[in-house]
Structure 1
Amino acid sequence: MKRSPSSRVRRIALPALVASAALVALALSGCSNGPPNPNPRASAPLEPVSVDLPRYMGRWYVIANIPYFAERGFVASRAEWTLRDDGRIDDAFFGRKGFDAPEKHFHFVDTVAPGSGGGEWRVRLFWPIHVTQLTLYVDPDYRYTILGYPGKSLGWIFAREPTMDDATYRSLLARLDAMGYDTTRFRRVPQLPSQVGQPGFATP
């Protein structure tokens, strides 16, 4: 039986999609060309903390990160989390490649891992690719939080406000250091134009 042209297109497109998905998953899982982690606690496993999911929802500004490839160079970036009726989480990410550039928007759907106390999420990038995101710390007032990935090649410091004082920032880096992160890889994300070019801030 002769196959239709559309059938042949689907047969070609599916391997390409799977290959692209595998590359994205590989990059996000921390299998990158980053430098070796010199932290003596680098091999210690990351443990998620329990969170009050309704309280955890809302807007969080990216204060600092070891970014994944798609968010490098962003300024004024933030995440907005919304708890759905089905228990999953709408995960929206916003950022700009410069303060005069248009805002980009990415949307993911996250599923809370059973038994994790709300601290481990499976982030669906697109079907069938998921990656694991861990909440490593949230302060008692839910003003600051630290997120990470297994492997410690990616990490984020979030806050409810777009700016953070240096003392608080250093205290959160100290927590990451105790968890085994190479904190020298973290760069602060400019949330205001005046922060561009300042020491410790990423370059757009």
Structure 2
Amino acid sequence: MSAAAFASSPSKPRTWLMALLLCSLLLACGLTARTHSATHNVAVVQNFDISRYAGPWYVLARIDHPSEAGLVQTGVYYRSNQDGSLSMVQRGLDPTSGQWVKRESLALPAGSPHEGAWKLSSQRGVASDYNVVALDDSYHWAVVKGASAARSWVLSRTPTLPADVRSELLQRARTAGINTEQLLWVPQERAVAALL
């Protein structure tokens, strides 16, 4: 069919436009669902207080991932924003180069802001799950799990934890489905100071 015949046909442009609009709507809904839907099948901390969670943390242990592989003295700093989001700056030292590696992300509640379920968007625009699955009452340590247990972290306000506290948080991590045998304990010195 020629361009002139296509343009003169009243139903074809309308059909084409409707198909384009429908595809755009489906794409937008899919992106929104991926970015903002609540995490399923993960028991997260309830009565989560974003203002108490904010501040500096040491990353004491993690299940290693290519984006963090080899880094030591890892830490993360969270800032609570007025819009309910959580800004995050992660840093770690690459002992081979002696250089600090830094990543920034923004987290939005995946459901209620009073639950420990978040969706993280990195500078690369990739959304990922961030679930606080264990947290002590004083917000001194936390266990975080991604979309799967293969992405897990142990956070603390201090560079070390007493043996009894460490034992308790590891038990809670196992209850959350994390294989604690895979945790890599990270050498710490001044990671949190480097974030500030």
- Give runs of aligned pairs for residues 54-93 of structure 1, distance below 5 A: 54-93=51-90
- Give runs of aligned pairs for residues 20-169 of structure 1, distance below 5 A: 45-50=41-46, 51-98=48-95, 101-115=98-112, 117-126=114-123, 128-169=125-166
Q: What is the TM-score when the length of structure 1 is the normalising length?
A: 0.68
SS at match of 1:80: strand
Moved more, 74-83 or 176-185: 176-185
Q: What do residues 18-43 of structure 1 show as CA deviations (whole Å, max 9, x unaligned)?
A: xxxxxxxxxxxxxxxxxxxxxxxxxx
Q: Is the 8 A contact 1:92 1:106 kept in 2?
A: yes
Q: Aligned letter for 1:48?
A: V
Greater CA radius of gyration, 1 or 2?
2
Q: Is the 8 A contact 2:81 2:87 kept in 1?
A: yes
Q: Aligned letter for 2:56?
A: R
The Cα of 1:123 is off from its aligned counterpart by 0.4
Q: Aligned letter for 1:139?
A: D
Q: What do residues 160-182 of structure 1 show as CA deviations (whole Å, max 9, x unaligned)?
A: 01112232222211111122221
The Cα of 1:147 is off from its aligned counterpart by 0.3
- Distance in structure 2 (CA, Å) of the matches to 1:129 and 1:70: 13
RMSD: 2.3
Q: Aligned letter for 1:120?
A: A
The Cα of 1:48 is off from its aligned counterpart by 1.0
Structure 1 residues 127 and 187, CA, compared in 2 at 3 Å: closer, same or farther? closer
The Cα of 1:103 is off from its aligned counterpart by 1.6
For these two proteins, the number of residue pairs brought into alignment is 151
Structure 1 residues 128 and 78, CA, compared in 2 at 3 Å: closer, same or farther? closer
The Cα of 1:116 is off from its aligned counterpart by 5.5
Structure 1 residues 127 and 93, CA, compared in 2 at 3 Å: closer, same or farther? closer
Q: Is the 8 A contact 1:75 1:99 kept in 2?
A: no
Q: Is the 8 A contact 1:113 1:122 kept in 2?
A: yes
Q: Aligned letter for 2:42?
A: L
Q: Aligned letter for 2:60?
A: I
SS at match of 1:153: coil
SS at match of 1:71: coil
**1:173 and 2:170 aligned:** yes
Q: Is the 8 A contact 1:78 1:94 kept in 2?
A: yes
- Distance in structure 2 (CA, Å) of the matches to 1:123 and 1:168: 28
The Cα of 1:146 is off from its aligned counterpart by 0.5
The Cα of 1:158 is off from its aligned counterpart by 0.3
SS at match of 2:62: strand
Q: What is the TM-score when the length of structure 2 is the normalising length?
A: 0.70
Moved more, 138-147 or 148-157: 148-157
Q: Say which of 175, 184, 187 aligns to 2:184.
A: 187
Q: Which runs of 5+ in 2 are unaligned?
A: 1-39, 191-196
Structure 1 residues 73 and 128, CA, compared in 2 at 3 Å: closer, same or farther? closer
